[in-house]
Chain A
Amino acid sequence: DAKTTQPPSMDCAEGRAANLPCNHSTISGNEYVYWYRQIHSQGPQYIIHGLKNNETNEMASLIITEDRKSSTLILPHATLRDTAVYYCIAQTGNNRKLIWGLGTSLAVNP
């Protein structure tokens, strides 16, 4: 069973920041939080991951709460090409499998 919960859908205006929340209140101390996205009819694409600290790369920023019970993926300037399903995933400790939830369908509108 997925260890993460996300809103099923969100909208964002083009050029604005998209903030995608994720709850993972049962995540263990050694489990990473991963974000992938899937554009329609394509394979998932890695975005970012983190354990405790906030992370930033060329695609996005990941803000993890101090208690690690939730996190937020931030796309700083959303474009139409960011329209996709965004998955927040816990990676289990032993064999590093990704436990996928249902994701958030993000629609970026002109």
Chain B
Amino acid sequence: DAMVIQNPRYQVTQFGKPVTLSCSQTLNHNVMYWYQQKSSQAPKLLFHYYDKDFNNEADTPDNFQSRRPNTSFCFLDIRSPGLGDAAMYLCASQREWDTDTQYFGPGTRLTVL
């Protein structure tokens, strides 16, 4: 049973061309996260939502934006992708702050040409 779904699994974009990555969760979780993971590195938190409240990490570039139109869906928008933005982007959800587990999607691998 799919719980956190990310589309597409692989995305190719051109330098400077806006791109949107999609995440949905069937768990009715309040919290959703976006992480960036570069090769051989740990996931790096970009931002998270608690319900509709958006929380940006201090070092997340302005080039990265997010939208959460409803509980189930969350989008990551990269306004002008650079070569350094090529990475795996992971979405995760969590029922509440004080519950135990973040559930991760399979990730979207972004290539910037």
Give 1 or 0 for each of A79-96: 1 = CB within 8 Å of chain B CB.
000000001000000011
Distance of A95 Cα from B94 Cα, bound (Å)? 12
- Of B66-74, B76-84, B101-109, the one contacting chain A is B101-109
CB pair A42 B106 closer than 8 Å: yes
Give 1 or 0 for each of B1-12: 1 = CB within 8 Å of chain A CB.
000101000000
CB pair B103 A95 closer than 8 Å: no
B interface bracket (residues with beta carbon within 8 Å of A): 20 to 34
Q: Is the interface of B mostly helix, strand, loop or mixed?
A: strand
CB pair A45 B104 closer than 8 Å: yes
- Of A21-29, A60-68, A69-77, A97-105, the one contacting chain B is A97-105
Distance of A41 Cα from B90 Cα, bound (Å)? 11
Q: Chain B's nearest CB lies how many Å from the CB of A34?
A: 8
With contacts defined as CB atoms under 8 Å apart, how many contacts are there between chain A and chain B in the complex?
Answer: 44
Q: Which residue of A lies closest to B50 (CB)?
A: A95
CB pair A103 B106 closer than 8 Å: no
Distance of A98 Cα from B101 Cα, bound (Å)? 10
Q: Chain A's nearest CB lies how many Å from the CB of B10?
A: 10
B87 beta carbon closer than 8 Å to chain A: no
Residues of the B chain whose Cβ atoms lie less than 8 Å from the Cβ of A45 = 104
Distance of A97 Cα from B92 Cα, bound (Å)? 12
Distance of A42 Cα from B104 Cα, bound (Å)? 9
CB pair A43 B45 closer than 8 Å: no
A-B contact pairs, 14 of them (CB 8 A): A2-B42, A42-B106, A43-B105, A43-B107, A46-B102, A49-B100, A95-B55, A96-B97, A96-B98, A97-B48, A98-B45, A100-B42, A100-B43, A102-B41
Beyond A43-B90, A44-B92, A96-B98: 7 further Cβ-contacts under 8 Å? A43-B4, A43-B106, A44-B43, A44-B104, A46-B103, A95-B55, A102-B42
Residues of B within 8 A of A (CB): 4, 6, 41-45, 48, 55, 88, 90, 92, 94, 97-98, 100-107, 109
